[in-house]
Amino acid sequence: MKKTYTSRKVVKEFLGGDYLSKEGVAGNLSYILFVALLAMIYIGNTYYTEKKLKDIERTKGELKELHYKYINTKSILMFQGRQSEILKRAMKYGLQETTLPPYKILYSAGELNPNQQ
């Protein structure tokens, strides 16, 4: 004749902790602790990965914003570097554009340092 467990008896044994004192559980306690450790590592790794993904997305946004700022600054600098714009700014200081073409200044090595004679 088989012993039948009622639901009350099963709940009472579970809450009472009787299943922990059985030899099958006690013999595999190290394996159970190892599996629990792996589960904690898995959960921690998931949180770490989610944090890194959020950081990557934030950095991508910053990179995109800095790229737009770079393009804007580059276009402003190219506009200000045009000869006509430089001339306009130089006129404010009383400077004028030269009408003479550029020429070479020729010198010899002895003329650079007169104290060497």
Phi-psi region of 96 (alpha: psi -120 to 50; beta: other; left: phi over 0): beta
In this predicted model, what pLDDT tens digit does every residue of 92-116 receive, in sequence order? 999 888 889 988 988 876 666 656 5
| pTM of this prediction exceeds 0.85 | no
In this predicted model, what pLDDT tens digit does every residue of 64-93 receive, in sequence order? 999 999 999 999 999 999 988 999 999 999
Specify if 25 maps to a domain.
yes
**The domain containing residue 57 runs over which residues?**
10-92
Residue 115 has what pLDDT? 63
DSSP state, residue 6:
P
If pLDDT is split at 50, 70 and 90, which confidence band does 2 have? low
Our count of domains for the chain comes to 1
H runs (alpha helix) in the chain: 7-16, 23-27, 29-80, 83-92, 109-112
For all residues of the chain together, what is the average pLDDT?
Answer: 85
Specify if 110 maps to a domain.
no
